Amino acid sequence: MNRKYLLYAIVPVLALISFGTAVYAFGPQEGSRGAGLVAKIAQRFNLNQADVQTVFDEQRTEMQAQTQTRIADRISKAVTDGKITQAQADLIIAKEAEIKAFRDGLQGKTKDEIFSAMKTETDSLKQWVKDNNIPAGFLPFGGFGGIHMGRGARLWLK
């Protein structure tokens, strides 16, 4: 089997596994993302929990902004280099926003509901990639990216 097509099959599955693990491990706890960790840090170091949450939120926002800048630069360079068309770049950017909305919509759902929704979304994403002839290096996974889940990270393949 061609290695490129193997990536189309394996990458979404791996992304879903890492996403599911992150959702399960860092899923809804006491109101907001990472609330359990915030509470533990505040308790351990005798800090105000609201102050610790503010630092976490600021860091998350900063990382998301940096990630968005890197993604925009990479997509722009790919268009300039002729690796993708401007139309494909626009589709990738729009799909990124869709996936972010999808991820945000998983808050408060059960583990089974999340995995079911992720399976449907993965199937849809695979078809979208095929329909729009998106190169494997530009698969938009939004927050489906392993260790950085929930911080706006993207999984970009080489």
Closest by CA to 28, choosing from 100, 105, 97, 98, is 105
pLDDT in tens, 52-103: 999 999 999 999 899 889 888 989 999 999 999 999 999 998 988 888 889 8
For residues 141 and 134, the answer to whether their CB atoms sit within 8 Å is no
**Domain spans in the chain, listed from the N-terminal domain onward:** 3-148
The reported pTM is 0.60
What tokens appear for 44 in the block?
């351990």
Q: In the prediction, which pLDDT does 107 show?
A: 87
**Which one-letter DSSP state was computed for residue 92?**
H
Distance from C-alpha of 89 to C-alpha of 76, rounded to nearest angstrom = 8
The Cβ-side half-sphere exposure at 50, using a 13 Å CA radius, reads: 0
| pLDDT, greater one: 139 or 31 | 139
Q: Which of 25-39, 77-91, 94-108, 129-143 has the highest mean pLDDT?
A: 77-91
